[in-house]
Amino acid sequence: MAQAVQITQKDFSSDQDVRWCPGCGDYSILANVQRVMPELGVRRENFVFVSGIGCSSRFPYYMNTYGFHTIHGRAPSIATGIKCARPELSVWVVTGDGDGMSIGGNHLLHTIRRNVDIQILLFNNRVYGLTKGQYSPTSRVGMNTKSSPEGSIDYPIQPLAFALGAGATFVARTVDVDAPHLQETLRRAHEHRGTAFVEILQNCHVFNDDEWIEVEDRKQRIDAGMKVVDGAPLVYGSEGARRGIRIEDGVPSVIELADGQDPVAAGVAVHRERYETPAYAFALASLARPEFPLPTGVFRAIENPSYEALLSAQVASARVQRGKGDLEALLSSGDTWTVEA
Amino acid sequence: MPEKPTEEIESVAIRFTGDSGDGMQLTGTKFTESTALAGNDLATLPDYPAEIRAPTGTLAGVSGFQIHFSSHDIRTPADHPDVLVSFNPAALRANVEDVRPGGMVILNIDAFTEKALTRAGYTEDPLPALRDRFQLVEIPFTKLNRAALADLDLRSRDADRSKNFFALGMLYWLYNRPMEPTLRWLEGKFKGDVLEANARVLKAGHAFGETTETLPRSFVIPRAKIAPGHYRNITGNTALAWGIVAASQVFDQEVFLGAYPITPASEVLHEVSRYRHFGVKTFQAEDEIAAISSAIGASFAGSLGVCTTSGPGLVLKQEALGLAIMAELPLVVVNVQRAGPSTGMPTKVEQADLLNALYGRNSDSPVPVIAAATAGDCFGTTLEAFRLAVKYMTPVVMLSDSYLANSAEPWQIPDVASLGQERAPFATDPESFQPYSRDPETLARPWATPGTAGLEHRIGGLAKQDGTGNVSYDAKNNAHMHALRHEKVARIANEIPPTEVLGPDRGELLVVGWGSTQGAILSACIEAREDGQNVSNIHLRYLNPLPPDLGEVLARFDKVLVPELNLGQLSLLIRSQFLIDAKSLSKVEGQPFLVEELRAEIDAMLGLET
C-alpha cells in the first residue's frame, strides 16, 4: 500500500484536455472522483473506468487509470466481463440517463440484479447532451426539446426506483456540486461489496440548465433537499420551518415540526439502510419536488455475495473436487478405441 | 435353432424416424456410439424440428437421425438411406421417398392405425403400394415392448417410452453392433425400474432379431481401414467446446465465455460450463450484446474472451465486434450458422452468414474469418481462431453450422503435446510504452492489462491516434489507421499454408468449397474422377484473408464451380476479387448437399448429359 499513500489527486489526471462545455457539472464530479481515489487504498493500476456513450462517458479519458470508452449502453456488460476475469480490480462504470436508462437499460438491470461488485455512477441531467438536447428517459413530462417541440409525452423513469426494482444492494444519490457529500458517497460506494448504484444529479448548463438548482444551490438545498443518514429521522428544512417525512403503508407524507419537537415521537420515519425489504427505500426514491424534498444519501445498503465472487468460488471448488483440468483426460473421456497400425 | 447366416456388406445408411418425443435422436446417437466402437467410419445427420413437442403424429413433429457407416472412408451421411426405421405414419410419409429403391423400411406397425394414417395426411393405406417398391419389415414394436415389460410395475405409457430401445436392440442384432456401450450408458444414466426396463427391452429387441423369421440374416460391416491412432466419436459442438477448453491449456490462460442461449449453439455453452476446473469461466448473459460485451471486457482484463452464437445473434453482436476491432483486442466470435433469414429454420443448416461475418458492421472493419469443415475439425479451427486472435490482437470470427454442430464422426484424438504451448505477449515494461505501438511483423498492438503498473491507458471506440491511442480526428491519421487495420488482417495470409488441390493441379473444372460442405464435395469429386472426369477440388478454411495462392490456383482451370448452402456468397467474393466467371451452385433448403446434386452440376459444367 506504500504507493497508495503517496499518490494524490493529481496522479489521477490524464494528459488529455477535458472537453466538456464550460459550466458542466461533470467537471465537479471529475475533480471529486480524482480527489477520493487516492484515499481508497487501491493501487492506481488496479482502477478501471468503463463508460458507454454520451457526455458523461468521456470520463475515462480524463482519469489516469485504465479506462475503456465503449459503446452506447454496454458499459455494465463490459465491466461485468472485466470484474469476472479479474475480481481484484476496482471497476467503475460511468454512465448517463440516456446511456444507462435508455439504450443500456437491459444491461443495467441485469448487472444490478447479479450484484457484480462494481460501482455504477449514473450522471442524471435529464437530457441528451452529446446529441444536442433531445429529451431523455428521465426528462419531465412536457419538456420542450428539438425532438419534443410540443412537450415530451414520455413518463420519466426514476433511476433509483429502477435500481431497487432490480434488487440493488446499494443505492445512493448525491449532487454534482456538493463536494463533501459526493466524496462521502463515493467512499461508501467503494466500500460496498456488490453493485453500488449511485445517481449523481448533474447540471447540463447548455441544454437543461438549473434542472437541479434546488439541491445544487446551498440555500435552496436546506428546504428542498433532505440528506438521509443511517439511524437518523427523515428531517429537513431551515430553523423555524423544520419538517419530517412519515411513511405509512408505503405512503409518504410531510409532517410540520414545531420548535424542539421530537421528530420520532411525531411519527417521522427513521432512516435505515438495511430494512429487510426495499419498500422503504422505494418510497424514499419516489419523493419528488415540489411536494417533497429531494432526498440524497445512501438509501439502501445490504450484504449479498457478489456475482464474480460466486463465480470464482465455483472455479475454486471445481478445482478442489476434480483437480486442475486435465486436457488429455478430457479428450479421452468416455468411449474410445484404438486403431492398430 | 440354427444360427442365422450373416452377409458381409461394405456400407449402409440407416435413418431412424419418429415423433419428436419418440427418442429418435437418442436412438441414433446410441447406434452411432456403438458403430464407432465397432470400428467403422461413419457420418451422421440429425434432423429435427425446432419445437420441443410438435403435435403428436403430424409431419411437423417428425424427427430423424441418419447414420452412414462403412468399412471404407465415409464423408457424408449418404444421399439415400438403405434402411428407414419409422415409428409412425407421419415419419414414414416424410421420409420414405428418400429411401434407395428396393431398400428396407422397418415399421412399428402398431402405430399404423387409421387415425394415425389420417393424421399423417394419408387418405388410404400406403403400405400395399410401398411393398412393391421396398422391402417392408412390419414389426409390432409397441406390443413386443409391452410384453417384455409385463411383469414390471409400469404404466403402459411409461413402458411405451422404451420401444425405441427395443428397436435399437433389434438393429444391433441386424448389423452386428455391440450392445455393451449402450448398456453401460444406461447404467450410468438411470437406476431402478427405468434402468431395468431399458436394458431389458434392448436385450429383448436383440433376441427378437435373432429369432424372428422376418429377418432371415444379419449383416457384417468389417472395420474400416483408417489411420492408426486413438479415436473417439465427436459432434461439432462438442469439438468446438473442447477447443475452447483446450485454449485455456494451450495458452495457460483463463478463458471467459459469454453466451446467450440460441439454437444450435447452446450446447457449446452447456459443454464448456462443465469445465470450470480448467479455469474456464462461463457467463450466461442477458442478451447477445451483453454476451460479446462481457467477453470483450474479459479480454481487456487479460482473459481469452470468446462468445458463441448463431446468425441472429451475430447480427446483434456486430456493433460490439466493431468496438473489438477498433480497440484491437483478441476475441473469438463463434457463429454456428443456421437457416435464415430472421428466425428462419433454427435447427436446419445454411452457410449464409459469410458476408455478414465479413462486412456486417458499420464502416470498413476488417476481421479474420475462418470456417470448420467437419465435426472434428471444429476443435482445431477453434484453437486456430484463438491463436490468430492473440497473435494479431484482433477479434476473429469462426464459422460452424448446424450440420457440423449436431453431426458426428470418428475423430482421431490429438496428442495434447502436439497442440503446442503459446504465450500471450503481455506488455509489462512502462519504458516507452504506447498502447497503439506496433509489432513490426504482425502489426499487433501490445496487450497491456489492468493491474500492470505504469501501463495505465485508455482505449475506446473513438478514432485513435497511431501510437498513443489518444482520441484523434486528424484526417490523415484516420486514413492511416484504416490502412493499418486492413493490413494487419491481410498479413495473416502470410501464414496460410499452400492451397491443396485434390485431383489434377490444372485442368477443366475446379470445385471450390468452404465449411461443412467438404464431405459432399469431396465425395462427388472423387466419384467423378473415378469416372474419368477432369475435375479437381479445393476447400477453404481461411475466408478472410483468402489464401495468397488462390488466384493463381483458380487461373489454372477452365471453369470454377462454387457450391454453397447460400445464394452464392463465396462465389461473389471470388468473382469480384479474381475477376473470373465462377459459377455458383446454391442450395438453401435447410439440408446439406447430396452428392448426386453436386455430381449433376459437375456433369453439366463438363458438358456431359445425365
Tens digit of each residue's pLDDT (9 = 90 or more) over B402-461: 999 999 999 999 999 999 999 999 999 999 899 999 999 999 999 999 999 999 999 999
Q: Could you tell me if B56 and B172 lie in one domain?
A: yes
Q: Could you tell me if B400 and B521 lie in one domain?
A: no
Q: Could you tell me if A248 and A258 lie in one domain?
A: yes
Report d(CA B315, CA B321) in Å as an integer: 10
The answer to whether residue B480 sits within a structural domain is yes
For residue A81, list chain B residues with Cβ-Cβ distance below 8 A: 256, 258, 283, 293-301, 303, 305
Q: Which of B19, B559, B323, B497 is nearest to A73 (CA)?
A: B323
Question: How far from the centroid of its chain's Cα atoms is residue B90's Cα?
Answer: 27
pLDDT value, residue A3? 47
Looking up residue A153, the CATH number of its domain turns out to be 3.40.50.970
Q: Could you tell me if A81 and A153 lie in one domain?
A: yes
pTM of the complete model? 0.95
For residue B413, list chain A residues with Cβ-Cβ distance below 8 A: 331-332, 336
Looking up residue B538, the CATH number of its domain turns out to be 3.40.50.920
pLDDT at B487 over 50: yes
The answer to whether residue B341 sits within a structural domain is yes
Residue-wise pLDDT tens digits, B589-600: 999 999 999 999
Q: Could you tell me if B283 and B383 lie in one domain?
A: yes
Report d(CA B274, CA B46) in Å as an integer: 24
Which residue range(s) make up the domain with A103?
Answer: 9-232+272-308
Tally of domains within chain A: 2
Q: Could you tell me if A237 and A223 lie in one domain?
A: no
Find residues 67-86 of chain B whose CB sits inside 8 Å of chain A.
Answer: none
pLDDT value, residue A339? 86
Q: Which residues does B125 contact at the CB level (< 8 Å), separation at least 6? A: B112, B117
Looking up residue B113, the CATH number of its domain turns out to be 3.40.920.10
Report d(CA B399, CA A175) in Å as an integer: 49
pLDDT value, residue A7? 84
What is the average pLDDT across A233-248?
Answer: 96
What is the average pLDDT across A172-178?
Answer: 98
Nearest C-alpha of chain A: how many angstroms from B296? 6
Q: Could you tell me if A258 and A216 lie in one domain?
A: no
Cβ–Cβ < 8 Å for A93, A75: yes
DSSP A101: I
The answer to whether residue B91 sits within a structural domain is yes
Which residue range(s) make up the domain with B447?
Answer: 228-495
The answer to whether residue B326 sits within a structural domain is yes
pLDDT value, residue A43? 96
The answer to whether residue B37 sits within a structural domain is yes
In this structure, the number of other CB atoms found within 10 A of the CB of residue A337 comes to 15
Cβ–Cβ < 8 Å for A247, A256: no
| Residue B154's pLDDT band (cuts 50, 70, 90) | confident
B473/A contact by beta carbon, under 8 A: no
Segments of B226-378 assigned E as strands = 229-235, 255-259, 280-284, 304-309, 331-337, 369-371
Report d(CA B507, CA B486) in Å as an integer: 34
Q: Could you tell me if B341 and B424 lie in one domain?
A: yes
Q: Could you tell me if A39 and A128 lie in one domain?
A: yes
The CA–CA distances, whole Å, from A248 to A227, B144, B553 equal 20, 71, 82
The last residue of a domain, from among B447, B474, B495: B495
Q: Which of B41, B42, B48, B43 is nearest to B25 (CA)?
A: B48
Tally of domains within chain B: 3
Q: Could you tell me if B491 and B523 lie in one domain?
A: no
Residue-wise pLDDT tens digits, A40-51: 999 999 999 999
DSSP characters for B414-443? PPGGGG------B----TT--TB---TTT-
pLDDT value, residue A317? 97
In this structure, the number of other CB atoms found within 10 A of the CB of residue A239 comes to 7
Burial of B491: CB neighbours in 10 Å, binned 0-12, 13-18, 19+? middle
Q: Could you tell me if A253 and A216 lie in one domain?
A: no
The answer to whether residue B197 sits within a structural domain is yes
Q: How many residues does the structure list for chain B?
A: 610
For residue A71, list chain B residues with Cβ-Cβ distance below 8 A: 293, 319-320, 322-323, 461
Among candidates B281, B295, B323 on the partner chain, residue whose Cβ is nearest the Cβ of A311: B281
Q: What are phi and psi of A242, to 5 degrees?
A: -75, 140
The answer to whether residue A118 sits within a structural domain is yes
The answer to whether residue A321 sits within a structural domain is no
Q: Could you tell me if B491 and B511 lie in one domain?
A: no
Q: Could you tell me if B86 and B186 lie in one domain?
A: yes
Nearest C-alpha of chain B: how many angstroms from A311? 7
The last residue of a domain, from among B474, B495, B516: B495
The answer to whether residue A336 sits within a structural domain is no
Q: Could you tell me if B215 and B242 lie in one domain?
A: no
Q: Could you tell me if B130 and B44 lie in one domain?
A: yes
pLDDT at B123 over 90: yes
Q: Could you tell me if A196 and A250 lie in one domain?
A: no
pLDDT value, residue B230? 94
| Residue A4's pLDDT band (cuts 50, 70, 90) | very low
The last residue of a domain, from among B169, B203, B220: B220
pLDDT value, residue B610? 57
The answer to whether residue B587 sits within a structural domain is yes
Give the percent of chain B with pLDDT over 90.
94
pLDDT value, residue B1? 52
The answer to whether residue A317 sits within a structural domain is no
Chain A residue with the nearest C-alpha to that of B300? A82
